[in-house]
Amino acid sequence: MTAPFVLPSVDDLHDAALAARLQHVIDYKTKPLGSLGALERLALRLGVIQGTETPALHAPQMLVCAGDHGLAARGVSAFPSDVTWQMVENFLVGGAAVSVLARQHGLGLTVVDCGVAKPIAARDAAPGQPQLLLRKVALGTQDASVGPAMTAAQCGEALAHGAEVVRGLPGNALLLGEMGIGNTSVASLLLARLAGLPLAEVTGAGTGLDAAGIGRKRAVLQQALDANADATSPLDALAALGGFEVATLVGAVLQAAAERRVIVVDGFITSAAVLVASRLQPHVLQRCVFAHRSGERGHSLMLAQMQAEPLLDLGLRLGEGSGAALAWPLLQSACVVLGEMASFESAGVATQTA
């Protein structure tokens, strides 16, 4: 049985001396000053997260959390809820985008049933294949447009599951992914509530709604905000408006941050989980690398809330962790540039003149 959730302590990583040493190492590689652009800033961030001038990444883990939403019955998505369990099965047999990309980049893939509306059968994973963890809180959340999506106890259970799952994973890097028909609505609701932004600015097409569908979606989401008007603190908002998979991700992010893992954030929904986690423990953001800017309306505003600089901007809006997987080689490159690229002194190359 999973222990009750206790908010982990997430310390401030600020170390001016280490940051200065890292910047000196980066500046004196055999290149014009700043010429590797964002890769240099990424190398600096990885060094600070790991507390070393020679950061290294090992046994990276892709965590895909899945759950269903009562809101989906209100037509907030272009796809039916059955797609959630069908995609979980697709992840496990290796046919989804995140499955393919995880194989390509050597990422361990763990899929967690946090609250899928259909029972999913337990199974053993072959070595090197995706593993399934059953941490189902309930068969989907309640309809947030008429009241809280979760009870406080259910939210706490999902948070505890996320922390427990991370404690059991190897490696020093966690890549975030999700699956749940209707969960772009959850991300929009959490952003609107926690940042005080209008729904019209943070609500988009999700899986492919047309203009009329987006209008209907906004109306339903406004009902959800109105029905849960008193849920203003981060945890209250998460319970009232969120999903089991989002709450599980919040717990996972907090645990990974406490363990000083590198956290690679995917798109709109995983960013919503990080937003909630950062409102609970602000220093979470020091451990995060934001993979990309999603094509989903509202993601740029969410990134701005966290002062995040995404690595990629490819118009992605698939989710699953696909953007995090695509960005992963950049983290590897940042580490090898920092660790293996020659300095002007070691290579006997003259530095630029003033």
Residues 328, 103, 174, 239: is their CA dihedral positive or negative?
Answer: positive
Q: Which residues have C-beta within 8 Å of that of residue 100, sequence separation ≥ 6?
A: 94
What pLDDT does residue 158 have?
98
Condensed to tens digits (0 to 9), the pLDDT of residues 249-303 reads 999 999 999 999 999 999 999 999 999 999 999 999 999 999 999 999 899 999 9
Contact 214, 204 (CB under 8 A): yes
Contact 171, 108 (CB under 8 A): yes
CA–CA gap between residue 204 and residue 73 (Å, rounded): 18
What pLDDT does residue 79 have?
86
Helical packing angle, 268-280 and 183-195, nearest 10°: 40
What pLDDT does residue 86 have?
97
Active site residue 340: no
What does each C-alpha distance from 249 to 19, 142, 188, 200, 313 come to in angstroms?
A: 29, 19, 16, 26, 23
Return the C-alpha torsion angle 212, 237, 70, 155, nearest 10: 160
What pLDDT does residue 353 have?
64
Q: How confident is the model at residue 76 (pLDDT cuts 50, 70, 90)?
A: confident
CA–CA gap between residue 169 and residue 184 (Å, rounded): 27
Q: What percent of the chain has pLDDT over 90?
A: 88
Condensed to tens digits (0 to 9), the pLDDT of residues 310-354 reads 999 999 999 999 999 999 999 999 999 999 999 988 888 888 765
Condensed to tens digits (0 to 9), the pLDDT of residues 142-195 reads 999 999 999 999 999 999 999 999 999 999 999 999 999 999 999 999 999 999
Terminal C-alpha separation, the chain: 65
Pick the catalytic residue from 201, 320, 340, 345.
320
Question: What's the predicted TM-score (pTM) here?
Answer: 0.96
CA–CA gap between residue 237 and residue 149 (Å, rounded): 10
What pLDDT does residue 211 have?
83
What pLDDT does residue 278 have?
98
Contact 231, 286 (CB under 8 A): no
What pLDDT does residue 1 have?
67
Mean pLDDT of the chain: 95
pLDDT greater than 80 at residue 136? yes
